[in-house]
Structure 1
Amino acid sequence: MRIGFSLPQLGTLAHQAADIASFAREAEALGAGSLWVGDRLLAPVEPTVGYPPGADTIPDEFHRILDPFAMLTVAATATENVLLGSNVLNAPWYPPALLARSLTTIDVVSRGRLVPGFGVGWSPEEFQAAGIPMKERGARMDECLEALKQLWTADVAEYGGRHWQVPPTHAYLKPVQRPHPPIYIGGFAPASMRRVAQRGDGWLPILPVPGDVDPAMAITAPMSQIRQLAEEEGRDPGAIDLILRVYPDQTATIDQVVTAIGRAVEEAGVEHLLVDLMFLAKSIDHTLEMADTILRRV
């Protein structure tokens, strides 16, 4: 089993950015199997959509955010073996050529340890700031993933979509992972699950803590549906992977986190998970202490 943790990217921990490299080294030394980033652009004062779903505000942790690509690059240079993932990058914001350049660089610097995860995004204000119509997010994400694969696999790449275009271009710098880094996709909506089945190498579900969520219902049943859809698309359903994000809120305890991990492993057969300690972390040292406790108890 592989257990990973979120990098100290948000909230007051963002002010400790100079310590990210040491955090990554120490987390790897403790036994972390992967390190992860998220992707927030801004925290609107009067959000149209709050977070978590149903709220009318944005968490204080989202008021400060470090760049995910820079974070992964720093972690790549400070570690040797941990996987380096995004859960998730908001794909509709990024022109595919720019995204391919950033992600290819990280995969090369890390010697093939990148695990890119993508989502469609949810904040209208972030889309406004990015200059992207939110109503086009699904179509833009699909085109972005198609163009990424072209840039990653063809020596002369070209893509012509409705929203994104890449003119014929020499694309000789390739990721270390061939044919390309595995593409993971987040989301529970029917469109997201079909997107995993059609285009993804893996799915990124979320398990909130605390909560009475049944891992079999939250993970196993949707994964079975994704694999059935993949088979209908002519793909090998067994080739689609899963990485679970265990997501404790401000009220969660480490005991509850450990219990949730145990249930996910035993009842849903999860083999790789990341624990996002964003809402519990008081400092980088505190984050490492919690990670150490979780790794020793699981």
Structure 2
Amino acid sequence: MSERSSAESATPGPVRLGFAVPQYGACADPEFIRRAGSDLEGMGYDSLWAGDRILVPLRPSDPYPGGNGEIPAAYSTFFDPLTALTLAAVGTSRVRLGTSTLNALWHSPVVLARTLTSLDLASAGRLDVGLGLGWLRDEFAAAGVPWQGRGARLEEALDLMEAAWTQDVVAHQGERWTVAPSRIDLKPAQRPRPPLLLGGFTPAALERIGRRADGWLGAAMPAAHLAGLWGTALGAAERAGRDPSALRMVLRVNPAITAEPAPADRVPHAGTIAQVGDHLLRLAAAGAHELFVDVQTSVTSPQQYLDIAHALITHVRAG
């Protein structure tokens, strides 16, 4: 167990920079997903990430957790995240492939574990499993999954997936799922399992991250708030007898890139390449181990997507 204070994290090295795979809106095209993965790897990105949406209600049950509360219109055309990462894996050999975040609760844990294992094998061990609880009750209703009790459901799902990934004989008797003693011999390329990252911003979510995950999938926010949430996860790891310095902080940034400088209070939600790139560098200095950018809510063409990706990594690497 590390003797570092739970308010501290590992000494940061060069920040890893990722980009969201072209998956929704104007970029939801399988041929472009395959090509863009190769292009992004060639630009020098360290990781590619895919999100998870299944519908956009005309009258949403819950406001979107960002901006003015309206769900981005681009979400109505949304390519399956694991299929998108599989396409990206085909044309790449180096970049990590992550989900941020996959809604684990819409799937049977045993079936999901098999799919993720298959993707880890297909990518030669490059998968980061990022899971979240979701925020839109309409999607849970459409998936036939209860909204209430999501935290406990995730805990049991994680128990079952861990067993499928790591145990020779898998057996489970829980409140929601039962697995008779069975052999599940398809195991991930990464041992004992792919890195597990969890999303969330509540104290319970951050405590769960510290207790049983390898890192946190967060979002760009003011430094003081970021430090407070991260401290909750680090403290939970220490209390659980884990090394808090081993946890990773991975932050998503969703900017609308503008030609003219945006007001300071709009950055990084909007801004020029220089403004957004400089903000990424500040997040790295604040302790983020990895950052990834998703511009799909605002781009109108695949070429614009690629142009922004190239300009952004050029600026950040020069900084």
- TM superposition score category, shorter chain reference: over 0.9
Deviates more, 1:174-183 or 1:136-145: 136-145
Instruction: Look up the match of 1:144.
Output: 157
Compute the displacement of 1:264 (Å): 0.7
Q: Does 1:257 align with 2:276?
A: yes
Say whether the 8 Å CA contact 1:41–1:65 is kept in structure 2.
Answer: yes
CA drift of 1:171 comes to 1.2
Matched letter for residue 263 of structure 1: R
Greater per-residue helix proportion = 1
Q: Is the 8 A contact 1:49 1:55 kept in 2?
A: no
Secondary structure in structure 2 of the residue aligned to 1:243: strand
Shift of residue 53, structure 1, vs aligned partner:
4.7
1:170 aligns with 2:183: yes
CA distance in 1, matches of 2:180, 2:81: 27
Give, in whole Å, the separation in 2 of the partners of 1:24 and 1:54: 28
- The answer for the alignment partner of 1:238 in structure 2 is 245
How far residue 22 of structure 1 moved from its aligned partner, in angstroms, is 0.7
Q: Secondary structure at the match of 1:159?
A: strand
Per the alignment, residue 26 of structure 2 pairs with 12
- Residues 247 and 218 of structure 1: is their aligned pair in 2 closer, same or farther, counting only changes over 3 Å? farther
Change (3 A) 1:102 1:225: same
Residue among 290, 298, 301 paired with 1:272: 290
Alignment check: 8 A CA contact 1:197 1:230 kept: yes
C-alpha separation in 1, matches of 2:69 and 2:98:
29
Residue of structure 2 in register with 1:3 after alignment: 17
What SS does the aligned partner of 1:105 have?
helix
Using the TM superposition, give the Cα deviation of residue 296 of structure 1 relative to its aligned residue in structure 2, in angstroms: 0.8
**Residue 282 (str. 1) matches residue 265 (str. 2):** no
Structure 1 Cα separation of the partners of residues 290 and 46 of structure 2:
9
Letter paired with 2:105: P
Deviation at 1:257, TM superposition (A): 1.3
Amino acid of the residue matched to residue 9 of structure 1?
Q
Identity between Structure 1 and Structure 2 (%): 40
TM-aligned CA deviation for residue 142 of structure 1: 1.0
Q: Structure 2, unaligned stretches of length 5 or more?
A: 1-14, 258-268
Show CA shifts across 1:78-109 (max 9, x none).
Answer: 10000000000111111101101110011000
Q: By how many angstroms is 1:243 displaced?
A: 1.1
| Deviations, residues 135-175 of structure 1 (Å, cap 9, x unaligned) | 02111111111111000001111222212232222111110
| TM-score, scaled relative to structure 1 | 0.93
Residue identity opposite 1:232 in structure 2: R
After superposition, give the CA deviation of every residue in 1:219-245 in whole Å (9 maximum; x if it has no partner).
333222211111112222122111111
Distance 1:195 1:272, change over 3 A: same
Pick from 68, 80, 93 the counterpart of residue 93 of structure 2: 80
User: Within the alignment, does 1:96 sit opposite 2:109 as a pair?
Assistant: yes
Q: Distance in 2 between matches of 1:288 and 1:66?
A: 18
Give the superposed CA RMSD: 1.6
Over residues 198-256 of structure 1, what are the superposed CA-to-partner deviations in whole Å (9 max), with x where a residue is unaligned?
A: 2111011100xxxxx433x2333322221111111222212211111122247612233
Superposition deviation, residue 45 in structure 1: 1.1
Say whether the 8 Å CA contact 1:3–1:33 is kept in structure 2: yes
Separation (CA, whole Å) in 1 of partners of 2:139 and 2:32: 28
SS at match of 1:36: strand
One-letter amino acid matched to 2:107: Y
SS of the residue corresponding to residue 172 of structure 1 reads coil
- For 1:261, give the aligned amino acid: L
Does the aligned pair in 2 maintain the 1:245–1:273 contact within 8 Å?
Answer: yes
- Name the amino acid aligned to 2:222: D
Give the counterpart letter for 1:214 in structure 2: P
CA distance in 2, matches of 1:26, 1:218: 35
Gaps of 5+ in 1: 208-212
Q: How many residues align?
A: 290
